[in-house]
Each structure stands twice: as structure tokens, then as C-alpha cells.
Amino acid sequence: MTKVISSTLGYPRIGEKREWKRSLEKFWSEQISEKELLEQTERLRLDNLKKQQALGVDLIPVGDFSLYDHVLDTSIMFGVVPDRFKYDGGKVNLETYFAIARGTKDAVASEMTKWFNTNYHYIVPELENVKPALTENRPLSFYKEAKEKLGIDGKPVILGPITYLKLSKGYDEQDFPTLLQAFIPLYVQLLKELEEAGASWVQIDEPIFGTNLSDEVLAATKQAYKQFDEKVPNLKLILQTYFENIVNYKDVVELPVAAIGIDFVHGESLELLKQHGFPADKVLAAGIVNGRNVWKANLEDKLELLKNIKQYVNNNQLIVQPSSSLLHVPVTTKLEETLDPAIISGLSFADEKLEEIITLSKGLQSGKETISKEIQNNKQQVDDYNNSTNRINERVRRTIEQLDDSDAKRAQPFAERIEKQNEQLKLPLLPTTTIGSLPQTTEVRKTRTKWRKGEITTSQYEQFINNNIDKWITIQEEIGLDVLVHGEFERTDMVEYFGEKLNGFGVTEYGWVQSYGSRCVKPPLIFGDVSFDQPMTVKESVFAQSLTDKPVKGMLTGPTTILNWSFVHDDVPRNTVQNQIAFALRKEVEALEENGIQIIQVDEPALREGLPLDEKKWEAYLNDAVYAFRLATSSVQDHTQIHTHMCYSEFQDIFDAIDALDADVISIETSRSHGEIIGTFEENTYKKEIGLGVYDIHSPRIPDKEEIKQNIVRALKTISAEQFWINPDCGLKTRNQAETIGALTAMTEAAEEIRKEQLAYQKY
């Protein structure tokens, strides 16, 4: 019998306690040298490999580790460096690498956007004026490292050329086939060098095949993979797809590769397999353990799924693996001590998922009886979780079932509301504001930790938070902002905070995952029906408003973002959970309004990222997201102004949905994408008010006034001054005080100068 092979597609980079993050940030702050950074991250990388080796994984990925982002790694490997970074060929040094990601004083960072429908952000390659060349074979270096230092014959992981180019910018779509041909020889050289070094399997990631591709792209794809097969015939390539089923299934599975990796957790892959079969000359790499969620797999059900899949595979050629890279889940559950034990019993992070893969591989290979003990333990753990207290709230379920369209509609249309809002708020032309959060200093984080550990009292902690609010209200007034924020100093994260306050949520201690760069987030667990308990943000918002005559925004995270940035158990439909969250937020919105808060911002930065990869499924998703937002925000009075914020999305795809949200003001990222979003508003009529972010907060560089003025002036060519708000791209949590004050001062000065110009023009 042919052996059932176990595999994984990628492992978390960050370390059990975010050691990776700390090394990076120490390097950026010049506390450690480049040599020390590389030594520390090498130890972490090798430890990750040792874990997988000890568990008995057959195909261990190498080259999945990154110092920032795997797409950026691919760019520098091929010398894809924008002109503004003054790269002159050869291996890209670390200074340039981080400059592309974070910007410098003289060069803005490359655009950053979401990796398909996840909360991971990648650095967008810029192909304009680029002549690609293989500057270094990174997968080869990682392959040799694993082999020489640990005796691991690893599986190099490469981002495939189709996905890489489709995620890039700086070329016309009709040039795709020509551009692809420029990269193919580089991929061939890379693969040949891996083959010569002894690699047997190579994983080529092509998640783009989960999306709708044109006939021209598919034709170019066939030509590319034909060349791989001809030039490197003895290397076993795994064409790896994930996140959903393959849209062009029949075309993709016929590509000349040794194996096809398919996601059997999301989408309709099993139905496609039954309908179209699978090529007899290929290995099927079946992703059957969810690589994007944290709930324990039902081993008995998964084994039955594998047996079903096995019917379509020739000669038992099967690889058992997760549905995607484990980059999207935390490292291990072993550090979790504060959660309800029943909830912990239902969790499976990266290490536990690997154990599930090993167990399922053994059961498929040698029979169910060989893993009977593991199945029995798994069943008990799943049952303990399913039967845990506080999971089901019948009152909430009845309330959600009784909702209809009238519950998600403002009393009056925007045109009538805005007149009342203008009369009440009396804001100037081109009002200035921020997105919400202000710098979370080391002192803020340490004080929160002391409070959580009981080292200071709740009264002392609240006084500390109030002191920070008071300080920053004063700073904002001195800077000259028109609409202020309280700063969110009491919040760890814009989703986790609400997870700690709402019923039906649980929060881990070490459940961190990478979002962008060194920024890690800790998604809460939605394990039961969600409901409102008591006001969550009113105290801080009211205190901030008491310190100033200027309006202070109430700040909430929207229902779709909370859903998409949480780990949601799948025994209740996602749109039902979404509406439960929305109804709970509705009560918070009403509480803020009742306490005199005139502007309430409900952020939805993750609205677009949840879009299904298959465009045919978009309408249903967007309708659910729009309904949930309106359910959360529609019960306020006409004079209460509802804001929302979105970041790093291709807004042209969801313009109608943005309009349908019926928010009075929307703020959108635009600076890293160099104002490209403005084109969407040139092609579409938008009558509500809008703020296009005028500078990038993810970079430590402080923009000057003239740079910001250029961004404002460009926007005003498309959007009237009466509609336009001036704000940064996103929240300022990750910036320090000097960076924040410097950038906001430049922003308000730019706004004031243009405001005077506009008012002077309007007189004539």
C-alpha cells in the first residue's frame, strides 16, 4: 500500500509568546544589531521546524518563514524594488527590505492590502519599470538550512507566478502574458537549483485559483506550467490552492504538476471532485483540517471525509494536510490557563492541528481502529465544548429571528439628516479629525498589565486612563482638530476589547496571529450566542466630552469586522452571529446617544476582506454585511451623525454596498495606494460625506504639509469641499507621540490653508 503522506502548508512565524515581534521591534529601535536579529529569528525558525519534525510530519514546509511578509520576500527575490528606493541591482539588503514595507523619510512605503479574504496584510509588488532577475534563491537557502542543521528534507514553499502577478500593480491587464513570460525563466532557475540541491517536493502556492480568472490568464497559466514541466521534469511540484474551492477546477487539475492541493473545508470542493473526478497521474493533497479557525476537528467526521475523497484518488496517492497555511491561527493552546476548561477542550491551534493531521494520516493508512483512543478522547473533548454553559441564549435567538427590514433603516434619508447634523455640530468646511485610536505607549500597556494582574486597583487604572484622555484632548485642541476622540487607551485591540465585554465571547491569553509586519492581533473566540451585557464605551466617551466644547466621537467596531476578526464556531450560520453582534452594538449606540455623544463611529475595516473569492457569492455576503451595519446604527435620531471607517480595500468592487450602509460620513484609506481610490469616486456619484486618508499611519515617517496638501487637492477635484473630511488613513495606536503630533499638525495646517483658499474662492 502506498503511504498516506502527512503535510502542512506553513507554520506561524511569531513564536509562542511573539518572540519574533519583539526581535523585529528591537531591531527597528536600534536596540539590537542586524546580526542579532538574524540570529534570534534563525533560532525561532529552527525551533518551529523541530516541532514539526518531532510530531512526525512527513512534508515539512521550509521558506514559509519571513521577517515581514512572504509576498515582499518574493519581490526582493526577483529584484522587484520601486525606483524611489534607489535599488541598483543584486541582493536586496535588509535596510531596503524594511524601507519598502515601512517607508523612509524620503520615500513612502509600498501599498499594503489584505491577503485574499483574511486579516493578514501583504506588501503589494510594484512592477512599473522593473526588470526582474533572480537576486537570491531564498527557498534554496531555507532548504539547505533545514537539511544541514536539522536533517530535515523539507518542502520548499514558493509563491506562484500567477498569484504573485495578479496581486501586483503597475502594469496593464493585457500585458499579463508578456510579463509572466519574463518571470518564468526566473522560476525555472529557482526550481532547477532546488532540484540540484536534492529537494523532492516543492509547494507552489496559487491561492488565486480560488478566484474568477479570465480565459487569457488561464491560457497563460497553462503555458507557464508546461514550461516548468519541460524544464524541471524530475521535481515534484505541488500546485497548492486554498481559502476556497478552485473556480476553474477542470482547467487547474489538468496542469502538468505532480500534485494538486485542494481546500476541502471551504467551498464546494467535494462536489467538484465527485462531479469531475481527479487525474489518475496526480497526487491529491487534501486540506481537511481548518487552517483558518481554532476549533477542534471532529476526527471521526474528518476520517469519513478522507475515505470519501480517497475513492477518487488513484493508487491511494493522497496527502493529508490543513486547508491553508497555519499562519492564520495561534501557535499552541498549552499556554491557555484562564479560559473555561470546557472551551479550551474545544480549541485547536497550530500545534494541535498538526497532531490532528498526524492522527488522521495514521487512521487512513492503518485503519480507524488504530486511532480509536484518539477518536474517543476527541469526541469527549468536542462534547465537553458543545455542552458547556452559556453557549445557547434562546431569548437572543428569538429576537434575531423576528427582525425585518424596518429594523435596519434610518427614519429620514441622508439629505434631510445632514441638514440637522450641520445645524447641531456647526463644523467648519473641510473638518479635521482622526480615525479613533491614539498612541498606545509602553506605559499604557504596562499599566493595563498591572491592572489585569491585580497589582493596581480598578480605581487607579481608571484614573490612569482618564489622565491619558485628558492629556490627549488637550493635545488635540492645541493641534486644532475639529472633531476629537478619546484615544481608546483602555482597549487592547478594536475587536478583542468588545469580545471581553459582550456575552458569548471568550478571550485567550496567547492566541496571537500576525496581521501586518510585527503587528499581531488576538482574535476573540465566539463560542456562544452574542448579547449585550452593559455599556462598554460610554464612561470614557462621556468623560472625554466633558473636557471640551468640541464634539468627541464615540468609537465602536462594526458587526462584520468583529465577525471577520474573531474565531467563530461554525455550528450557527455566520449571518445569524453577525446579526447578534449588530443587535448588541445597537444597544451601545443608543447608550452613547442617550449620554450626549453626537457623533458615533462604527468601524468596518474588514467588510471587504470577508468577500468570498468567487464573485458569484458576493451579493449575498454584502447584503448580510449592509443589513448588520444598518441594524447596529439605524435607531439613532436624525441629528446624531454616524461615521464608519474602512481601510486597505479595493472599493470599486463594493461601491454600491458602501453607499447602502447609509453612514453619514465614511473615511477610507487612500495614501498608500497613492490616491488610486479616488478614481472610484470619479466613476461613481457619492452624495454622502467622506474622508479619504491623507497620510499613511503604518509608516513611522512624518509627512510634510505640502505632501498632505497634494493629497487633499487631488481629492477635491472629484469630491466637493462641502462633502470632504480631512483625516489620517487609520488609527494612530502604533505611532509614538512625536510622530502623531508632527503628522497631525501638518495635516491640520494643510487643511486650514486649503480651507481659506476654498472660502476665498467661494466669495467670487
Q: At 456, list the grid cell.
A: 493596581
Distance from first CA to last CA of the chain, Å, rounded? Answer: 87
176 falls within a domain: yes
Instruction: Kindly state whether residues 86 and 131 are assigned to the same domain.
Output: yes
Among candidates 711, 664, 660, 659, which has minimal Cα distance to 685?
659
Q: Are residues 530 and 578 in the same domain?
A: yes
Q: Is 114 annotated as a binding residue?
A: yes
In the three-class reduction of DSSP (H, G, I as helix; E, B as strand; rest coil), residue 98 is classed as: helix
CA-CA distance, 297 to 288, in Å (whole number)? 9
Q: What is the pTM of this model?
A: 0.90
State the catalytic residue, choosing from 121, 328, 643, 698: 698
Do 440 and 342 have their domain in common?
A: no
Considering the domain architecture, whether residues 147 and 260 belong to the same structural domain is answered as yes
The span from the CA of 696 to the CA of 111, in Å, is 10
338 and 423 inside one domain: no
Residue 406 belongs to some domain of the structure = no
- The alpha carbon of 655 is separated from its chain's Cα centroid by a whole number of angstroms, namely 20
CA distance 387 to 380: 10
Question: Strands 689-692 and 724-725, how do they pair?
Answer: parallel
Identify the pLDDT of residue 648: 54
List all residues 6 or more positions away from 697 whose beta carbon is below 8 Å from its beta carbon.
728, 729, 730, 731, 732, 734, 735, 743
Q: Which three cell numbers stand for residue 649?
A: 480595500
Q: What is the pLDDT of residue 609?
A: 82
Residue 399 belongs to some domain of the structure: no
CB contact at 8 A, 630 and 408: yes
Position 534, amino acid: Q
CA 205 to chain centre: 18
CATH number of the domain enclosing 452:
3.20.20.210
Whether residue 738 contacts residue 446, with contact meaning beta carbons closer than 8 Å, is answered with no
CA 250 to chain centre: 30
Distance between CA atoms of residues 400 and 631, nearest Å:
11
Distance CA 565, CA 119 (A): 7
Decide if 28 is inside a domain. yes
Structural domains in the chain (count): 2
Q: Are 321 and 261 in contact (CB under 8 A)?
A: yes
Task: Decide: 253 and 280 in contact? Cβ < 8 Å.
Answer: no
- Indicate whether 682 and 571 sit together in one domain: yes
For residue 54, what is its C-alpha cell? 518531532
Q: How far apart are CA 208 and CA 426, in angstroms?
A: 48
Q: Under a CB-based contact definition with an 8 Å cutoff, are residues 574 and 617 in contact? A: no
Is residue 603 a known part of a binding site?
yes
386, 401, 431 - which closes a domain:
386
CA distance 731 to 645: 10
Mark whether 276 is an active-site residue: no
Determine if residue 437 is labeled as part of a ligand binding site.
yes
Q: What is the pLDDT of residue 537?
A: 97
Q: Binding site annotation covers 19?
A: yes
Contact yes or no for 62/46 (Cβ under 8 A): no
Same domain? For 381 and 444 the reply is no
Question: Is there a domain that residue 298 lies in?
Answer: yes
Nearest to 207 by CA among 162, 170, 237, 249: 162
From the centroid of its chain, how far is CA 334?
25
The answer to whether 565 is annotated as binding is yes
Establish whether 647 is an annotated binding residue: yes
304 and 182 part of one domain: yes
296 is a domain residue? yes
Q: Is residue 398 part of a domain?
A: no
**Residue 85 and residue 135 in one domain:** yes
382 and 422 belong to one structural domain: no
Query: Is residue 155 located within the same domain as residue 207?
Result: yes
669 is in an annotated binding site: yes
Query: In the prediction, which pLDDT does 512 show?
Result: 97
In three-state secondary structure terms, 287 is strand
Q: What's the domain range around 724?
A: 416-762
276 is in an annotated binding site: no
List C-alpha distances in Å: 311 to 305, 307, 308, 315, 689: 10, 7, 6, 10, 57
What are 257's three cell numbers?
504538476
Report which of 629, 619, 533 is spatially closest to residue 579, judged by C-alpha positions.
Answer: 629
| 519 is known to lie in a ligand binding site | yes
Q: Same structural domain for residues 378 and 423?
A: no
Q: Could you tell me if 721 and 406 are in contact, meaning their C-beta atoms sit under 8 angstroms apart?
A: no
Q: Is 645 annotated as ligand-binding?
A: yes
Give which of 426, 702, 376 is closest to 551, Cα–Cα: 426
Grid cell for residue 755: 480651507
The amino acid occupying position 524 is P
Tell me the helices (H) and strands (E) count for the chain, helix number first: 27, 21
Cβ atoms 559, 422 nearer than 8 A = no
Which residues sit opposite 204 in a β-bridge? Answer: 158, 239
* pLDDT in the model for residue 671: 56
Locus of grid cell 491511494: 316
Weakly modelled stretches of the chain, pLDDT under 50: 1, 674
520 is in an annotated binding site: yes
Asked whether 332 and 509 are in contact (CB, 8 A), the reply is: no
CB 262 within 8 A of CB 245: yes
Residue 611 in domain: yes
pLDDT of residue 683: 67
Residues 392-395: contacts with CB under 8 Å, at least 24 apart: 392/528, 392/529, 393/503, 393/504, 393/528, 393/529, 393/531, 395/531
In what helix (H) or strand (E) does residue 305 lie, and over which residues does it extend? helix 299-310
CA neighbours within 13 Å on the CB side: how many for 1? 9
- 562, three cell numbers: 468583529
Among candidate residues 723, 715, 714, 717, the one with its CA nearest the CA of residue 686: 723
Sign of CA dihedral 242, 245, 247, 251: positive
